[in-house]
Amino acid sequence: MDDLNIKCLSTHNESLAFSPDGLSQAIDLNKILGSQSIVAARGLVSAVNPNHGFEGMGLDGWKRLAATFQRTAERVRAVNMTCGFHNHTVEFQPIEGKRPIDVLAGVTELVFHLDVSPCRQAEVDPVAFMEQYPGRTHSVLCSDWPANRNKHQPLLGDGKENWKQLFAKAESVGGLRFYLIQQETSDLPMTEAVQKDLERFRALHP
């Protein structure tokens, strides 16, 4: 990364990184990489609900997860890092009348790495989310939507997202620190798809 002049601004982390001993190791690793944000990925659920995944957690499970984030945020604050969460679709689906994402957002120091496509799949407007929680979307994962007939993600700008509007809101209200261009599936070879996405991002966000 140093040879390519690439910065690591955040890392995705599994459940071990949010245990007391694992967090010490995660902090050390993030310091080495130069990252300032320890972000929870899907595997974190095993710490609070090992048998069923996010979908089977129930509201109490989400509250336990929020408590884990609270402890993490307090600890990493001392080393000038943040605790982040990468959303999926399930966090926007109400349980007992309350969305899990709102339970997590009750941890006021938790920041979000907002993945656009899952928001839209859950019929949630990412702009509205940023307005609801201003200053807390530190990263936007630029993933266009909906999937095409091959069930592949469209190239950036080929989907339905209004990227210029989203960029403006992220930078004025969301609290954005950086963008991540995400391409998980494509009709093109992956390296070609990523190159095209980067070119399109630069065109949409000069």
Q: Which domains does the chain have, with CATH numbers?
A: 1-109 (3.20.20.150), 132-200 (no CATH)
Query: CB 29: neighbour CB atoms within 10 A?
Result: 14
Reading the chain (206 residues) residue by residue, the pLDDT tens digits are: 999 999 999 999 988 899 888 999 999 999 999 999 999 986 555 444 444 455 567 888 899 899 999 999 999 999 999 999 999 998 999 999 999 999 999 999 999 999 999 999 999 999 999 999 999 999 999 999 999 999 999 999 999 999 999 999 999 999 999 999 988 899 999 999 999 999 999 999 97
Secondary element (H or E) of residue 141: strand 137-142
- How many residues can be counted in the chain? 206
The pLDDT value recorded for residue 42 is 66
Side-by-side strand order, sheet with 82-86: 11-13, 37-40, 82-86, 111-115, 137-142, 178-181
Token readout for 145 is 């939507």
Q: Which residues contact 144 (CB under 8 A, 6 or more apart)?
A: 116, 117, 153, 154, 155, 156, 157, 158, 159, 160, 161
The pLDDT value recorded for residue 15 is 84
CB burial class (10 A; 0-12, 13-18, 19+) of residue 171? middle
Q: Which residues contact 143 (CB under 8 A, 6 or more apart)?
A: 115, 116, 117, 118, 153, 182, 183, 184
The pLDDT value recorded for residue 178 is 96
147-168 burial code (b ≥16 CB/10 A, e <16)? eeeeeebbbbbebebebeebbe
The pLDDT value recorded for residue 54 is 54
